[in-house]
Amino acid sequence: MNQSSTYFGQAFFGLADRNSFIKHLNDSFGAISPQWRTGIFTGDNLITFGKNLSFLGDVSFMAAIEAHANNDVEKSIIWRTAVLVWAARNGLRREGDYVECGCYRGISARIVCDAINFNASDRSFFLYDLFEYPEGSQHTHMPGMGPKLYDEVVDRFSSIPRAHVIKGSVPDTLKIRSPEKIAFLHIDMNSVAPEIGALEVLFDRVSPGGVIVLDDYGYMPYRAQRDAEREWFAERGYDVIELPTSQGLIIK
């Protein structure tokens, strides 16, 4: 993936007829005025044109994408991942460690580490996940989850000495092992209870100016998360901005 004025991701969610959708999408670009027929981005239920797409010119970020994004979904959520990298870079100017609740395969966090040269810092990165759901769980099963995933993620961070991959249920694991000060917090567990539980434990530890990113905040299927988190932050005097990438963003 070289720097370009366009980026065509292939992954969209909720489509009834993918082939028809892609055909009509491609046909629609012909209706755009020539001077605006650049800066096109597709993927992750996001379609734009006439945008700068500045992250495509971020050399370290794009190298990390090339190294670690291995499937259509990981490549299509590149704009989401660019937001995480921006938030993580901001964290380098704040006091504290990095936390991701719901790391899944660890791809986004690994891209963050490479893009910001995490090993050059004196921070630790705490990564939490169940890695496999217990029988009867109401969680949506994700590809690759199972008894081998934890070891795969540990191996993925083998070259990041201060990355700590922690298996178990949030917020229980946070109460056992988590940093006292946080410079960057990413929450992506697709469930109301653990996400609110994580905020209850960790929010007060986020340093002033630290960024909190809530994944899926803007996606309709996860509206219950948005409602609960918006109310939780409002009670504390914060307003969550919903980004076009579907993420919710708060600067403490």
pLDDT at 160: 98
Query: In this model, does residue 177 exceed pLDDT 50?
Result: yes
pTM: 0.94
**Quick one: which of 159, 80, 151, 71 has its CA closest to 114?**
159
58-251: which CATH number, 3.40.50.150, 3.50.50.60, 3.40.50.740, 3.90.550.10? 3.40.50.150
Cβ atoms 204, 178 nearer than 8 A: no
Q: pLDDT by residue (tens digit) across 116-144? A: 999 999 999 999 999 987 665 656 667 77
Q: What is the pLDDT of residues 24-66, one digit of tens each?
A: 998 998 899 988 888 999 999 999 999 999 999 999 999 999 9
Q: Where are the domains of the chain?
A: 7-48, 58-251
CA distance linking residue 56 with residue 78, whole number of Å: 9
**String of DSSP letters for 38-91:** -S-EEETTEEE-S---GGGG-HHHHHHHHHH--SHHHHHTHHHHHHHHHHHHHH
Question: Residue 4 above 70 pLDDT?
Answer: no
